[in-house]
Structure formats: C-alpha cells, structure tokens
Structure 1
C-alpha cells in the first residue's frame, strides 16, 4: 500500500531538517526498507525510516491543536 501524502511530506521535512544529501537519503531509505525511493515504501518501511531519522536527531515541530470542547465531539483526552 502506498503511503499517504502527509507521511511522504513528513519524510521530506525530516530530510531537510537533517540536511541529508540525495545520496545519503537514498542510502538511508535502502538500508531501512530495501528501496531507494519513498514511492516504493509501505507503512512498515515508513515507521522504520522515522525511527532512524529520530535517532539522527529529527524532532517534529508539528503540535496537535487544542480544539477545546465541541458539542457531540470527543474531548482531547478521549
């Protein structure tokens, strides 16, 4: 199954944050997934790559929003 576009974007954000060259990026992908392109990796491969990127120092700056109480909707704690 192909990755959702958001997951692909997250990989590219991590790549830029870590300043990985194209060669370094493709070598990392191949070492973790057996593929040299994000087009060919699945969710398991995505998770493996993300673990490796975190070990290299990637930290997501995305924070989940606080949507507050909305009638009929789950609370943030749920």
Structure 2
C-alpha cells in the first residue's frame, strides 16, 4: 500500500466487505467515516429493513475505485 493512509484503506475495506456480503449500510460512528464522506469516498444513507430504518455508509464510485486501485499494489504470495 503506497497511496493512502492505512486507516482510510481499512475503512474502505470494511464498507466494501459489507457491500459484497449484503450487509449495507455499514454502521459506524467513526469520525474518519465523516471525513471520508466529505472527501467523496463514502455516502451516508438509510435503508428500511422491515419496520426498522437502518442508517450508515455506502461506498461511492470514487470510494470503490480508490479501494480497488489500492488493492492492485498489494502483493499476493504465490501458492
């Protein structure tokens, strides 16, 4: 990882994992998530799940792209 702070990458990874595991929105009260929303990587929203409304964060296209671009720099060991 070379381009972004590890904390930003970790947050993107958590929201990405929630997305592919269909656990959206990703719920957190992290100040970093608010900063990442201001930067355009995350978007705050809510979703109804039955009678409950759940609020949290979703990846934006910019967040998805930033995460995927950063993953290209990670070396995968050969099996």
TM-score with structure 1 setting the length: 0.28
Kindly name which structure, 1 or 2, has the bigger radius of gyration based on alpha carbons: 1
TM-score with structure 2 setting the length: 0.28
